[in-house]
């Protein structure tokens, strides 16, 4: 009987220990401190560029308060009515940089970043690179004008590497990339560049030169003039082979007779 009592006592002790451990683990789990969370306004569905936000487009996501999102919103009314600038995935927190400025409303004004200006310049099919001036492309702006008191035309680069904001009334790129002939091109410029563009448009004819979007280089060179295009190489640039070779002169020989003596002299 003594061994049986010992085994029962051991089993009872193990049962009590297991029960105590289980109750303790549940207590610790319930009372474990949960990291503080913060609710941010997010997208309830995938959104495309140019869509105006409505209440049905919004939801909330939980975010660790220890890593706050800069520019995020906590109230839906702060974003309702504003236009999305970039495509957003469903469930993505909405940030200030994703939206147009408050009160800007839809349209072209919502596409203008803070501190920039939109300037419209006239063009034609030839100056417009045969219709390939699409929103988002990069161009140089050239102006052809006449100097005061001279009839010679001059072509100079007024602006370099500026972005086409709109082509005609279209300010979103065509997904198919089809060319379109337009009469007015709107450029996204800094305030000082806007002044230069307006001044250039009043001086002569504006031309747009399409460039690679990855090319950010700025070149420095003098304006092109008609005399430069029709210039003839000067005499100092002629090679020695092209210059005429003077003919060698034969010497003059004078013979003098004095009695029986004679002498001769040569002169060049």
Q: What is the CATH number of the domain that holds 97?
A: 3.90.1210.10
Both 151 and 218 in a single domain?
yes
Q: For residues 22 and 109, which has the higher predicted lDDT (pLDDT)?
A: 22
Both 120 and 220 in a single domain?
yes
**pLDDT tens digits, residue range 20-75?**
788 877 776 766 656 788 999 999 999 987 788 999 999 999 999 889 999 999 99
Which three-class secondary structure state does DSSP give residue 72? strand
pLDDT of residue 235: 47
Nearest Cα to Cα of residue 94 among 106, 67, 107, 76: 76
Both 122 and 142 in a single domain?
yes
Range of the domain at 149: 113-226
Please give the average per-residue pLDDT across 184-201, as a whole number. 91
Both 123 and 97 in a single domain?
no
Both 122 and 208 in a single domain?
yes
Distance from the Cα of residue 215 to its chain's centroid: 9
Q: 132 exposed, middle or buried (CB, 10 Å; 0-12, 13-18, 19+)? A: middle
Both 126 and 205 in a single domain?
yes
What is this structure's pTM? 0.47
* Separation between Cα atoms, residue 150 and residue 166, nearest integer Å: 36
* Separation between Cα atoms, residue 121 and residue 183, nearest integer Å: 9
Nearest Cα to Cα of residue 37 among 9, 60, 70: 60
pLDDT of residue 205: 86
pLDDT of residue 267: 63
Both 60 and 129 in a single domain?
no
- Assess if residue 10 is contained within a domain: no
Looking at the 3D structure of the chain, how many domains does it have?
2
Both 140 and 215 in a single domain?
yes
- Assess if residue 256 is contained within a domain: no
Q: Which residues pair with 206 in a beta bridge?
A: 143
């Amino acid at each position: 009987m003594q061994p049986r009592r010992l085994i029962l006592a051991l089993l009872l002790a193990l049962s009590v220990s297991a029960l105590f451990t289980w109750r303790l683990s549940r207590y610790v789990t319930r009372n474990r401190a949960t990291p503080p969370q913060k609710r941010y306004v997010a997208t309830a569905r995938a959104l495309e560029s140019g869509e105006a936000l409505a209440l049905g487009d919004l939801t909330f996501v939980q975010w660790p308060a220890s890593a706050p999102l800069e520019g995020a919103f906590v109230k839906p009314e702060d974003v309702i009515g504003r236009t999305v600038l970039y495509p957003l995935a469903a469930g993505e927190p909405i940030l200030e940089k994703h939206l147009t400025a408050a009160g800007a409303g839809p349209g072209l004004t919502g596409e203008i970043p803070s501190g920039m200006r939109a300037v419209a310049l006239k063009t034609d099919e030839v100056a417009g690179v045969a219709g390939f001036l699409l929103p988002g492309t990069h161009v140089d702006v050239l102006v052809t004008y006449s100097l005061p008191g001279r009839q010679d035309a001059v072509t100079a680069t007024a602006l370099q590497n500026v972005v086409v904001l709109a082509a005609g009334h279209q300010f979103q790129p065509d997904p198919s990339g089809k060319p379109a002939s337009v009469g007015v091109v709107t450029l996204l410029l800094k305030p000082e560049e806007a002044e230069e563009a307006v001044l250039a448009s009043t001086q002569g004819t504006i031309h747009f030169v399409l460039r690679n979007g990855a090319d950010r280089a700025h070149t420095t060179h003098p304006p092109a003039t008609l005399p430069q295009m029709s210039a003839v190489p000067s005499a100092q640039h002629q090679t020695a082979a092209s210059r005429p070779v003077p003919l060698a002169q034969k010497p003059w020989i004078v013979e003098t007779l004095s009695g029986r003596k004679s002498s001769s002299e040569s002169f060049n």
